[in-house]
Amino acid sequence: MLGKYFDNKRIVLVGPSPHLIRKNLGKFIDSFDVVVRVNELGVVGEMSKDYGSRTDISFLTLTDESLPIYMKMKEEVNYDHLKAVVCPGDEYNYNPIAQSSKTQNVKEYFNSIDLNVDFFHIKTPTFEERCKIFECFPTTGSVTIYELLNHNYKELYICGFSFYTTKFRYSPKGMEYFRIPEKNQHKHNFRAPGHNIRQEIKVLKSITKNNSKINGDKLFRRIILSKTNLYYEVRRFIIYKLNFDNYKNVIKKLLRRLKKY
């Protein structure tokens, strides 16, 4: 079913990383047959010169926390070209690694957003099987890349994924959306994600190896398409450890522990 959107097409997958700012990739992104985004319905007008203006397919995490983000996006972004939403996660947001509790069905969350587009939930392989493939609970970005690789595309270009090696996780507008859920309405700049990114990179490097139809921006080439992990490990150390935000967070955590005694 999804093949009708991807087969024999030039596809660009655009992530929300801030490293695309001032790169002026907008026209290049819009030149592809299909523009895919992760956890975004589209982009606001002022960001189109760097992130492109179109969104044809959107891979979304559909949860209680994400729903108000997408509702706010509907008010602000251009999603006129949106044809389909794809949920690559578990049907009930079950985390087989942590054995979390289940939520309502992801189709119900999609219906709440009220978008007049096609909806797909990836069932093969199951999300549990994909967790086994990655040997961790993968990010939506990684399972999106995994899904696209299984289609008969003509070309796949991947940009806007820093794998959390930038000072902020997302673009300034993306950070606004990120802070909509109550649990994210803090002033800390936590740079490390709650996922095993090192393991995800290991798998992505393996499944993209020697694939001549895949290319990407400089960060994607250095982190995923390179033969070594050196660049990622150096960037990871600098961003996670050698920064003022890290020391502030360490001190705050220490103070919270001291208050318990």
pLDDT in tens, 78-90: 999 999 999 999 9
Position 250 pLDDT exceeds 80: no
Position 169 scores a pLDDT of 85
Confidence of residue 136 (pLDDT cuts 50, 70, 90): very high
Position 176 scores a pLDDT of 86
CA distances from 25 to 37, 51, 168 (A): 15, 6, 20
CA 158: distance to chain centroid?
11
Position 39 pLDDT exceeds 70: yes
Report how far residue 8's alpha carbon sits from residue 227's, in angstroms, rounded to the nearest whole number. 28
Position 171 scores a pLDDT of 87
Position 17 scores a pLDDT of 95
Confidence of residue 193 (pLDDT cuts 50, 70, 90): confident
Question: Taking a C-beta distance cutoff of 8 angstroms, is the pair 220, 211 a contact?
Answer: no
Token look-up 């606004």 returns 176
- pTM of the full structure: 0.91
Smallest CA-to-CA distance from 96 within 64, 130, 67 is with 130
Confidence of residue 261 (pLDDT cuts 50, 70, 90): low
Position 157 scores a pLDDT of 98
When mean pLDDT is compared over 13-22, 169-178, 238-247, the highest value belongs to 13-22
Cα three-residue angle 217-42-25, rounded to 5 degrees? 30
Helix axes 67-76, 106-113, angle to 10 degrees: 30
* Tokens found for residue 142: 């990684």
Residue 207's contacts (CB-CB under 8 Å, 6 or more residues apart) are 146, 149
Position 247 pLDDT exceeds 80: no
Question: Taking a C-beta distance cutoff of 8 angstroms, is the pair 231, 222 a contact?
Answer: yes
* Tokens found for residue 237: 């150390």
Percent above pLDDT 70 for the chain: 98
